[in-house]
Amino acid sequence: AGALVSIGCVCTIILLFMFELYSFMTPDIESQLLVDDPAKHLNNIDVHLRMTLPYMSCDYLGLDLQDQLGRHEVGSADVRKDPTPDGGGCHLSAKFTIN
């Protein structure tokens, strides 16, 4: 009788393991697209960004803005790049709004 209980437990453990493995290997993919009404959200958030990169030249720096849908907002940021006093780095400052 003890052997039957042990065999039943091992079979149950194997069955549960197989179900968990199958559930792990086949994930559910869910895609969402939310469309907000712009009339409801008139408030924009002002963003002021200041970074100092001590070892990177200003020639290699830029700022790209991209929304959740993947659209690039070209020219919507006021970006200023100034070299550091030692000349080896760059101060990057930007102002833009997000909604």
Residue 88's pLDDT is 86
Hey, what amino acid is at 31?
A: S
> What pTM was computed for the model?
0.49
Distance in angstroms (rounded) separating the CA atoms of residues 89 and 94 = 17
- DSSP one-letter code for 32: -
CB 82 within 8 A of CB 24: no
74-94 pLDDT, tens digit each = 667 888 999 999 888 999 999
13-59 pLDDT, tens digit each = 999 999 999 998 998 888 888 776 666 666 777 889 999 999 998 99
